[in-house]
């Protein structure tokens, strides 16, 4: 038998057509995608180094700058999901032995703390911890900063595991005072709740494509201001990751050099889709997008309360408009309710994540999905589950 003989046959599954059901994606993401964005992503691709691709990238950059409300030149989209941006932010700005401070009130701070610990052997990671849904006063943050003298402070704006939208005002100023970079995660909140990168003195901001932006998962906008650039381009050690090294920014035309040099093959289709999602946001306007998310969320809160359900975040002003968390009702198994809703309504809602597992069920109505008729659909499915999943009192 020759070495060139195929001994592993074609797998039977590959000889069947692709199956992906139509589903209501009413969880914390990804969200359903409007036809215009799907169509953009389905266009024939071009080369990642073609001038037309660079134009699309330049347009994406402008779209991100609008969405982030920043004039930062160092604004790109990472090839990868939200985690790519999380790792990019930490890998580039923190060096071994430096201190970082992470606010943890759900899973996202925990993740970033772990990324910082893994990435920079010897980085001193200080955790400022609250129960899921808790929030930090500016005074608490400043006290922790005085104590730990971090080079980087991380905060999640839209804590999707808890359903909390954390206030940001004033924190950027505190960070400046203490010579610390302010890193903010808006993966779950961008387009759904106001954020002003420049005015709020946020040094590094990132988001994901698959939430209120309604693009497919796999790209992650990120922006660095001059303070952040100064720190990351004057480091003594090279960042741990080659792919996420912000030397990458040349490929996005952000380093002032005339020629863009190959860095890696960017996600061409994902970029087309992202460009279109940013175009839709620009056409609609940020204010309108924020208003709409708030309005539909308020409508959902009312409907949930009418069903006798309790919202997990008591203070309405602190609720994340894109992802609503519901306290698990007494006498129900949340897994059973969610499985029932998936089976009978083809609808995704999810349980908690990380520290909020067993505490909440989550309903996300983001971007394209953010409509009252979808809130009605979600409420109807929940009502049906409440009727059919009640545990018999043993
Ligand atoms: N941060 C927040 C607030 C998120 O909601 C998510 C995604 N659920 C992430 C980060 C991570 O993004 P991704 O799953 O795209 O890597």
In the predicted model, what is the mean pLDDT of the chain?
A: 96
Of 85, 114, 47, 113, the residue nearest 248 (C-alpha): 85
Render pLDDT for 253-298 as a digit per residue (tens, 0 to 9).
Answer: 998 898 999 999 999 999 999 999 999 999 999 999 999 999 999 9
Please identify, by atom number, the ligand 1 atom nearest to the C-alpha of residue 156: 3
pLDDT digits (tens, 9 = 90+) for 234-263: 999 999 899 999 988 999 999 889 899 999
pLDDT in tens, 325-338: 999 999 999 999 99
Task: Kindly state the average pLDDT of the residues 149-163.
Answer: 98
Does the pLDDT value for residue 17 go beyond 60? Answer: yes
Share of the chain above pLDDT 90, in %: 94
The pLDDT of residue 393: 47
Asked whether this complex has an ipTM greater than 0.90, the answer is yes
For residue 229, pLDDT over 90 is answered with yes
| Centroid of chain to Cα 133 | 17
Whole-number Å distance, alpha carbon 84 to ligand 1 midpoint, is 10
Q: Who lines ligand 1 at CB under 6 A?
A: 28-29, 81-83, 108, 156, 158, 160, 185, 187-188, 208, 217
Question: According to the model, what pLDDT value does residue 90 have?
Answer: 95
Q: Which pLDDT belongs to residue 121? A: 65
**Ligand 1 atom 11, closest CA:** 82
**Could you tell me the distance, in angstroms and rounded to a whole number, from the CA of residue 179 to the centre of ligand 1?**
27
Q: Are 301 and 68 in contact (CB under 8 A)?
A: no
**Ligand 1 center to residue 25 CA distance, Å?**
15
CA of 137 to the centre of ligand 1 (A): 24
What is the mean predicted confidence (pLDDT) over 156-178?
98
- Residue 131: which of 153, 99, 163, 154 has the closest Cα? 163
Is the pLDDT at 394 greater than 60? The verdict is no
pLDDT the model gives residue 248:
86
| Ligand 1 midpoint to CA 24 (Å) | 19
Please give the number of the atom of ligand 1 that sits closest to the Cα of 157. Answer: 3
Q: What pLDDT shows up at residue 44?
A: 98
Among the atoms of ligand 1, which is closest to the Cα of residue 209?
A: 15
- For the cut 60, the answer to whether the pLDDT of residue 5 exceeds it is yes
* 54-88 pLDDT, tens digit each: 999 999 999 999 999 999 999 999 999 999 999 99
For the segment 141-168, the average pLDDT, to the nearest whole number, is 98
Say if residue 362 carries a ligand binding annotation: yes
DSSP per residue over 283-324, as a string? HH-HHHHHHHHHHHHHHHHHHHHHTT--BSS--GGGB-SSEE
Give the pLDDT score at 120.
62
Written as one string, the DSSP assignment of 38-58 is HHHHTSPP--TTSHHHHHHHH
Q: Whose CA is nearest to atom 6 of ligand 1?
A: 187
Nearest alpha carbon, ligand 1 atom 9: 82
Q: At what angle do helices 268-284 and 286-306 cross, to 10 degrees?
A: 90
Taking the CA of residue 158 as reference, the ligand 1 atom at the shortest distance is 3
Which ligand 1 atom sits nearest the alpha carbon of residue 189? 3
Q: What is the pLDDT of residue 93?
A: 95
Q: What is the C-alpha to C-alpha distance for residues 162 and 185, in angstroms, rounded to an integer?
A: 14
Q: What is the mean pLDDT of residues 293-315?
A: 98
The overall longest dimension of the chain from CA atoms, in Å, is: 75
**To test ligand 1's pocket by mutation, which of 29, 80, 81, 82 has the most ligand atoms within 8 angstroms of CB?**
82
Minimum mean pLDDT among 143-147, 203-207, 231-235, 388-392: which range? 388-392
- The pLDDT of residue 142: 98
Ligand 1: atom nearest CA of 108 is 1
Strand pairing of 347-348 and 24-25?
parallel
pLDDT at 2: 72
Report pLDDT for 391.
81
Name the residue at shortest CA distance from atom 13 of ligand 1. 82
pLDDT in tens, 102-130: 999 999 999 999 999 987 666 799 999 99
Alpha carbons 309 and 385: distance in angstroms, whole number? 12
DSSP-assigned letters across all residues of 340-357: HHHHHH-EE-EE--GGGT
Q: How many residues does the chain have?
A: 394
Q: How far is the CA of 263 from the centre of ligand 1 (A)?
A: 25
What's the sign of the alpha-carbon dihedral 122, 128, 130, 135? negative
Give CA torsion, residues 370, 339, 83, 367, to 10 deg. Answer: -10
Distance from residue 188's CA to the centre of ligand 1 (Å): 7
Read off the pTM. 0.97
């Amino acid at each position: 038998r020759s070495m060139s003989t195929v001994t592993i046959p074609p797998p039977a599954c590959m000889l069947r057509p692709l199956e992906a059901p139509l589903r209501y994606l009413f969880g914390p993401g990804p969200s359903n995608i409007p036809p215009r964005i799907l169509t953009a992503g389905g266009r024939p691709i071009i080369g990642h180094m073609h001038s037309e691709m660079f134009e699309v990238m330049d347009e994406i950059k402008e779209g991100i700058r609008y969405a982030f409300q920043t004039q930062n030149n160092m604004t790109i989209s990472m090839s990868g999901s939200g985690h790519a941006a999380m790792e990019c932010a930490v890998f580039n700005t923190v060096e071994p032995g430096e201190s970082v401070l992470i606010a943890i009130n759900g899973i996202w701070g925990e993740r970033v703390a772990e990324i910082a610990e893994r990435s920079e052997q010897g980085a001193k990671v200080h955790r400022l911890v609250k129960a899921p849904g808790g929030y930090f006063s500016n005074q608490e943050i400043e006290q922790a900063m005085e104590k730990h003298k971090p080079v980087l402070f991380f905060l999640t704006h839209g804590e999707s595991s808890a359903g909390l939208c954390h206030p940001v005002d004033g924190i950027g100023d505190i960070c400046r005072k203490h010579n610390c970079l302010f890193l903010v995660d808006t993966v779950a909140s961008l387009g759904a709740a106001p954020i002003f990168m420049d005015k709020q003195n946020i040094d590094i901001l990132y988001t994901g494509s698959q939430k209120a932006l309604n693009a497919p998962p796999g790209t992650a906008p990120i922006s660095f201001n001059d303070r952040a650039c100064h720190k990351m381009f004057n480091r003594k050690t090279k960042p741990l990751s080659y792919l996420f090294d912000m030397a990458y920014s040349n490929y996005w035309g952000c380093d002032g050099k005339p020629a863009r040099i190959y860095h890696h093959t960017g996600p061409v289709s994902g970029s087309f889709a992202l460009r279109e999602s940013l175009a839709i946001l620009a056409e609609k306007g940020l204010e309108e997008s924020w208003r709409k998310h708030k309005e539909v969320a308020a409508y959902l809160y009312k409907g949930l309360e009418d069903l006798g359900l309790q919202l997990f975040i008591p203070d309405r002003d602190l609720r994340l408009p894109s992802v609503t968390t519901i306290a698990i009702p007494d006498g129900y198994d949340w897994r059973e309710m969610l499985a029932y809703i998936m089976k009978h309504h083809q609808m995704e809602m999810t349980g908690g994540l990380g520290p909020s597992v067993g505490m909440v069920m989550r309903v996300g109505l983001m971007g394209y999905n953010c409509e009252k008729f979808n809130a009605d659909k979600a409420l109807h499915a929940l009502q049906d589950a409440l009727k059919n999943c009640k545990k018999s009192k043993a």
